Amino acid sequence: MATGTAFGKTILIGDQFVLREVPAIVAALPFQTECRVERVAGRGWTLDDQRKEVPGYKEKKKSQQADSIDHILEVMGVDLTETGLKITYGGSLLAGSGVGASAASCVSLARALNDEFQLGYSIEEINRVGWEGEFAYHGVPSGVDNTASTYGGILRYWIESGEKHFRQLKIPAPIQIVLANSGVTADTSKLDAYVESLEKQDPQGFARKLDDIRVQSDAMLDALETGQWEKVGEIMTANHRILIEMGLSHETLVHLCDKAVAMGALGAKVTGGGRGGYMVSLTPGAALQEKVATAFESEGYKVIRATLGA
């Protein structure tokens, strides 16, 4: 028996456009998915998914999850024709769209299999397997989610001439955030087709928006590394306005973001692919974080409290 863990994540900017070479800034959350694998009698694999979830998330992702597990086993060369394997998921990460739940399941499984079958994979190879597993969920994954899930910390992630790059960032002090789930489970595998339709409808307007987001991403990088929290928040909110215009938010997410800012959050936006899932708000200080989180919970929303850079 062996166990693997992997982080959840929140993306502060660049969410939907990494494959179009827009740099993203992603932060691992201090919550993890844990995967335990155990050899049992029989053949093939069985799954016991004990993760806490946004209601309905696991059922909606069930077939994609099965395809992902099959592909990871194939990529890692794990042959289950002579032995059975029980896979059990758990951990502290609330499974829902927008917090890298699928990437965390892929990476944690890769780590558990690596230990159980003594495959000797490096961390880079674990990250690659996590990316392979994400195809079932995302179509063509950018690699940003599995990279944050594998390495942790705050990262700038970008693709240039088809090559993936990332570097870990240091911020001058920890900063509190609140994430709230809209209750809408988005099908991220359909996101690429939707974004392509936006580009076809208005190529020049689409290109201008991507240029604006590139500028925002560079500005946020500087603001994060120098601790300019108000500027970080302003960029988050401005970026969300672009995503709303592009149809990549959701009316519930807009409500949550507006409510957070009205209560004192420095900024708020959809996080992840969008059109459902989570939003993230910048709430420096334990008091403000608790105020915003409690207000969301009083309306019945699932909430994650986290501190970046801790």
CB neighbours of 310 closer than 8 A, spacing ≥ 6? 30, 174
pLDDT of 154 = 96
According to CATH, the topology of domain 175-308 is Alpha-Beta Plaits (3.30.70)
Contact indicator for 16, 274 with CB cutoff of 8 Å: yes
- The residue written with tokens 């991507």 in the block is 210
CA pseudo-torsion sign 283, 287, 289, 295: negative
pLDDT of 94 = 87
Token pair for residue 232? 């970080």
- The residue written with tokens 């690699």 in the block is 143
Burial (CB < 10 A; 0-12, 13-18, 19+), residue 15, is buried
pLDDT of 220 = 97
* Domain residue spans of the chain: 2-169, 175-308
Q: What is the 3-state secondary structure (H, E, C) of the chain?
A: CEEEEEEEEEEEECHHHHHHCCCEEEEEEEEEEEEEEEEECCCEEEEEECCCECCCHHHHCHHHHHHHHHHHHHHCCCCCCCCEEEEEEEECCCECCCCCHHHHHHHHHHHHHHHHCCCCCCHHHHHHHHHHHHHHHHCCCCCHHHHHHHHCCEEEEEEECCEEEEEEECCCCCEEEEEEECCCCCCHHHHHHHHHHHHHHCHHHHHHHHHHHHHHHHHHHHHHHCCCHHHHHHHHHHHHHHHHHCCCCCHHHHHHHHHHHHCCCCEEEECCCCCCCEEEEECCCHHHHHHHHHHHHHCCCCEEEEEECC
Token pair for residue 175? 């900063």
Instruction: Write out the chain's pLDDT in tens, 310 residues.
Output: 999 999 999 999 998 899 999 999 999 998 999 999 999 999 999 999 999 998 888 999 999 999 999 999 999 999 999 999 999 999 999 888 778 999 999 999 999 999 999 999 999 999 999 999 999 998 888 999 999 999 999 999 999 999 999 999 999 999 999 999 888 776 666 677 777 888 888 899 989 999 999 999 999 999 999 999 999 999 999 999 999 998 888 899 999 999 999 999 999 999 876 677 889 999 999 999 999 999 999 999 989 999 998 7
CA 167/CA 59 separation, integer angstroms: 35
For domain 2-169, give the CATH number.
3.30.230.10
- The residue written with tokens 């059109």 in the block is 275
Residue type at position 6: A
* φ and ψ of 76, to 5 deg: -85, -5
